[in-house]
Amino acid sequence: MTWYLKSLACCCLVAASYNAFAQNTNVSEYYYSGYRIDYSEVDRLINEVRGGKKSDVAINAQKQFQIGLTFEYGKGVQVDYKEAFFWYKKSAELDNPSAQFALARMFEEGKGVAKDLKQAANWYEKSADQGALEAQYNLALMYALGEGVKQDLTKAYAWYEKAAQAGYVKAQHNLALQLAKGEGVTVDFVRAHMWLTLAMTLDKSQENSQKSLLLLESHMSPEQMEQSKMMVKAWLALQPPNIVSAK
């Protein structure tokens, strides 16, 4: 059993690399997919925001976020992280969850602002509270590793679970590892097996989940694996056909 848990711990370290944004190379496609920006019109967007009605909070917040994206990624303008940070912050303060996530990431990476993990955790939580899956996952990582917040495996588990229940594959994998190791929760091999199986089902490229699943199955009875199988079917039956799966 000790060997098994140590093996799982190794998989966990591979899966839980702290720099969550670098780990998610498609984040701009996944998290920002709802924003179709004409990067050549950034000046127009800036003028619209400056001349917009204060009552148009949601519209202004979205435009400010779009401007931040153009400056961060240098689409149609020169890359300027300080300018990107400025616009993300304005949008985030208007409660835009995408901007809150982007602002947290800037604080985490020290892009356009001094690196500040406490601020990163603060803005990730604001975004996570609004249902942003990647923010929930990143916040869980911070609690798991004690980065920017006091280490709290129970809170890490809770945030992983929120994202996992919504179909976020990486959260499902890390949630399973906590269940298998009893970190912040009672050891439960059946539920750990369920979440690893779901991670593999939603994203077949999850090699870490596959390795962890094989290790876990070597310590489970056929009855336990059958119970997990039934739980997987029940979970999938309740999900919408377009369940989000972030690779």
pLDDT in tens, 17-38: 323 333 333 333 333 444 445 5
Rounded to 5°, the CA angle 7-220-161 comes to 70
Looking at mean pLDDT, say which of 9-13, 31-35, 183-187 comes out highest: 183-187
Q: What percent of the chain has a predicted confidence (pLDDT) above 90? A: 62
Bigger pLDDT: 139 or 14?
139
Indicate whether 240 pLDDT > 90: no
Say how far apart CA 138 and CA 171 lie, in whole Å: 9
User: What is the SS3 assignment for 154-202?
Assistant: HHHHHHHHHHHHCCCHHHHHHHHHHHHHCCCCCCCHHHHHHHHHHHHHH
Q: How far are the Cα atoms of 147, 213, 221 from residue 198, in angstroms, in the given order?
A: 28, 11, 19
Say how far apart CA 135 and CA 124 lie, in whole Å: 5
Indicate whether 53 pLDDT > 70: no
Sign of CA dihedral 9, 104, 205, 162: positive
Indicate whether 224 pLDDT > 70: yes
Contacts of the segment 230-238: beta carbons below 8 A, 24+ positions apart: 231/190, 231/191, 231/194, 232/194, 232/197, 232/198, 232/201, 235/194, 235/198, 236/198, 236/201
Q: How far are the Cα atoms of 83, 92, 185 from residue 80, in angstroms, in the given order?
A: 5, 18, 43
Confidence at residue 54, expressed as pLDDT on a 0 to 100 scale: 56
- Average pLDDT of span 66-88: 90
Domain boundaries, the chain: 1-19+160-247, 32-131
Say how far apart CA 149 and CA 104 lie, in whole Å: 13
Q: Looking at 58-72, 118-132, 154-168, 176-190, which range is the least confident one?
A: 58-72
Q: What token pair was written down for 51? A: 């001349």
CB atoms within 10 A of CB 56: 13
Confidence at residue 40, expressed as pLDDT on a 0 to 100 scale: 55
Q: How far are the Cα atoms of 69, 75, 146 from residue 78, in angstroms, in the given order?
A: 12, 7, 36
Identify the H or E element spanning 107. helix 97-109
- CATH of span 32-131: 1.25.40.10
| Radius of gyration for the alpha carbons in the chain, expressed in angstroms and rounded | 20
Mean pLDDT, the chain, as a whole number?
Answer: 82
